[in-house]
Structure formats: structure tokens, C-alpha cells
Amino acid sequence: MAADDIWILGIHMTKFGKHKDKDTIDLAAEAAMGALADGGVTMKQMGVLAAGNLMNAGAGIGQQLQKQIGQTGIPVYNVANACATGATALRTAIMAVKAGEADYGLAVGVEKLSGAGLLGQPKTAGAADGTWTPSGRVGSVTGLEGRVGTGTMPGVFAQIGQEYGHKYGGTSFELFARISEKNHAHSTLNPLAAYQKRYTLEEIMNDVMISYPNTRPMCSANCDGAAAAVVVSGAVLKTLTGEQRRRAVKVSASVLTSDPWQEGCQVLPDVNTLTRDAAVRAYDQAGVSPSDLDLVELHDCFATAELVHYDNLMLCPEGGAVDFFESGATWRDGTTPVNVSGGLQSKGHPIAATGIANIWEVCRHLRDEAADRQIQDAKVGLAHVIGLGSACGVHILERAAA
């Protein structure tokens, strides 16, 4: 029987950072078991498993994970969708429960990326003399600028930030550095962040330049980590204990988009349109507006990305992202706190885990369980991720009424 509403019953995030003593499945199992325990349920109750990993698990990560946490014969979906992998895994579980195929669903995202270099980009195989000859369809559209250039993520998001400034004005190297300064300051209150260090503006601006205007502290940090969530139908939630109902978080909107066709995005990915499309659909699904949000966890893979997503998520009037930031709204004590976790720049970015980890942060605040970084009386939050390829996931979450 189809479910009208979906709830996050349990959720867990491992500490992000370097885990030399744990492999991918170890981390995934830690997150999965943590989410089950947090929800007061067991693997035996799960009716579907969606497992996300992008870089290094090989075939069948979900099946490998089952060998550690329980093989019960349920359907398993192995998910890969760029940086939106975790959000896609969660949405897969949500859709299965919403369709009435399962009462409970488990979603996991995991990655081992510490020491992986530039977004885990593998070396490109070539001829013995180091050259590469384009061939096939991929060869016909692949750029030839090398491994570090304007087509890589640092270059793409540097251009996106510069383009926003060119169109609307007000941006500067210092402005983008101040966004990073905010997120690193927030990270000092998050014990699960990979980095918990407050940087001065001068330290950020004088660090290694990766792709202007983003220096090293302004870029997301590759690391190891996992996150997992248990979702349940509203009908089943009503049969559970008062404590389980109290801590459950309502999924008011779950949206996944990809790029609409545009001539320009065949050259430079358009992160704006698919995020705005996802946001419009999410607000409509949830029946809320941006002004109703008590906090936002958005995909700040680079400081430039955070600025443009203020606009894309309609946290400000179109073209007003600079004024919105300058108002102080995005700080933890502002009107619309953004990336209270420290964001990807300091919390870290184990790619497939990020989508669920952003939701974990929002859930902590809606449950009043975020300790020193708690946003007081938080009732509604938004979690956003974007992966170039392209995919965007937006979830709007609400505190339980009782």
C-alpha cells in the first residue's frame, strides 16, 4: 500500500577524516549499524537497501555490506551519481517505501578518499610516450587541457563564481575567502568534521591558490567517511514507541534533478538551473518557502559554489547573494544559518557520503541534538547536494509535531 508520508527514523554519520585502519565496507557497516541503532530497529526489519559509492568499492557494494550487517534476501540497489550519490541512495529507499514495496528502507553512502588527490581523479592511461589519442564518442567531446585545468572541478566552480560576479557584481577574492572563513569557524563546534580549525581571513587568502579565486582552504576536503539513514512510512511510525515518534524527522520533500538541455552546458556545466529546478519542486512538495527554513546545509564544494547556491536555492532575491552574505544571515547566529556543520570545506567531502551527511546535520538540529552548534527551536531545514554530470538532490526536513 502506497505511503503518503515518509520519515527518517534513524540516521548516523561516522567521523570524517583519515581511517587507515578501516576499509570501505568497515565504514559503511559502522554507519549502517549506527543508523539502525539510532532508530531502534534491526536489519531484519529493513525491506530495501540502497548503497552508494563512487570511487572504490567495486561491484556490488550493497551485497558486500550485507555480509557484514545481515543478509536477509531483500532487494539491493547499488547507486553511483557523482557527488549526489548519497542523496540518490536515500531517495531510492524513500521511493521504495513510498510505493508501498517496503515498510522500512536503509540508505548508505560511503567513500575512502583520503590521499586521493584532486577529487580522486585517476591517472589517464596513455601511450608509452605519455600522449593520448582521442577515439570514439568520448574522445570526440573530451577536452585536451590535461588533468588540472578549467574542465576539472576547481576550474569549473572558479568560473561559475566569477561568472556570477560578472553578471551581478559585488564579488571579490576577499568575499569568497570570507565565506570560507565562516565555514571553518563553524567547524570548530563539530566533533565529526575532518578539520576543526578556525582560519583567519589572511591565512585563507595567502594559502596555496588552487583555481582563482579558490585557495586550498576554500576547496572541499577529500577524506574517508560514511553516513546512513533508515526511512519508514508514516503508517508504520504510528505503531512505534513514543520516543521513536518524537525523534523521527519528516521528509517533506525529496527531489532529484538533472540538467535540462542547453547549448551552453555542453561546454560549461550549468549548476544553477538544475539546483533552482530542484529547489522550486522541493518547496512546492513541502509547502514551505525559503523564509521558513531555519538552517541549510548546501553543497559548498568550493567557496564560489556556496555563493551561487544562495541564489539558486532562493535564499535571497535573484542576483542578491552578495548582499545576503554581507548581511550576516548565513552565520550560525544569522537569520538563515548555512553550513553550520562546517560544510564540505572543513567537515570534509567523502563523495558518496556527503548527501546523507548533510541530512544528518539537519536532523541533529531538528531533534535538538546538535550540542554546542544547535540552532535554537529549529523546525524546518534543507539539505542540498550537486554532482557534475549532472545531478542535484534537495531534501526538505521537518521536526516531528510530537
- The runs of H, that is alpha helices, within 42-152 are 61-69, 85-98, 136-141
- Tell me how many degrees the CA angle 230-13-374 measures, rounded to the nearest 5: 100
> How far apart are the C-alpha atoms of 347 and 187, rounded to whole Å?
7
The set of residues, in sequence order, having a beta carbon less than 8 Å from that of 351 and lying 6+ positions away, is 54, 55, 82, 83, 85, 111, 113, 119, 120, 387
Are 106 and 226 within 8 A, CB to CB? no
DSSP lists the bridge partners of residue 257 as: 392
Cα separation, 186 vs 260, in Å, equals 35
Q: Catalytic pick from 83, 219, 223, 392? A: 83
Cell of 283: 518547496
Closest-CA residue to 393 (of 150, 109, 185, 189) = 109
Determine whether 83 is an active site residue: yes
User: CB–CB of 379/114 below 8 Å?
Assistant: no
Q: Where do the H-state alpha helices sit in 99-198?
A: 136-141, 153-168, 173-187
Whether residue 363 lies in the annotated active site: no
Catalytic residue among 349, 365, 384, 395: 349
Q: What span, in angstroms and rounded, lies between the C-alpha atoms of 365 and 371? A: 9
Residues with a catalytic annotation lie at 83, 349
